[in-house]
Structure 1
Amino acid sequence: MMPKRTKKNKPLTGQALLAKVSTLSDLTREEKAKACGYFTFAKDSTERINVMAFLNAVLDAEGMDLGAKGKSNGKLGGRKLTFRTSVQSNGNLLVGSAYTKKMELQPGDEFEIALGRKHIHLKLMAEED
């Protein structure tokens, strides 16, 4: 009989998950899911591996959304990522939340702006300790 787990495991997500998965190429999906923390113990102490949650986390980390989160009246809402934008009437350029989520940016992250002749380069500033 397996001992009961007292500490809840925290599965890997985002870039940490992708990095771990890339080192486990010789394992099965179930073994990869377990190695990345996608398992629980039932009341009878049997181990349950949650492969579906693992696969969904990998898709999320890769920036793929196969769900219908923006569903409204049976239609998918929202724009597709095109990596193009245009200047708004007030002169602003808008970078949508889909892009900042893909880059795993957080509120308050700061950027250095470098202007070229026909381009704008944004460089994420390193956090100061």
Structure 2
Amino acid sequence: MGDVSKSDLVRACGYVSQKKSGDERLNFTAFYEALLQAKGVEFGGAPKAGKGGRKLSFSTKVQFNGNLMVGKAYTAMLDLKPGDEFEIKLGRKQIRLVPLGAEDEEE
């Protein structure tokens, strides 16, 4: 497109939305992300989507009763089934779940 400004380039590629006030908003971030993707550049390791299209947060918290929950989306990603058993390995500020019968890589 020659010597057009960055704003004109973003606008010409359709990365424009309307503010509540009716003014134009140029979506530079979306434009640059699409440009990088088109050039084959992978960046950010964005969380995968779980059921319902929600993004997985890869974090959890201890519940009021002391339980620590790992959601269904995570167990599905690892192809875990009801009845699968694990040994709980405690480290310094970490918890590892090792499938029973599997060799622990760090021992």
TM-score of the pair, normalised by structure 2: 0.44
Greater C-alpha radius of gyration: 2
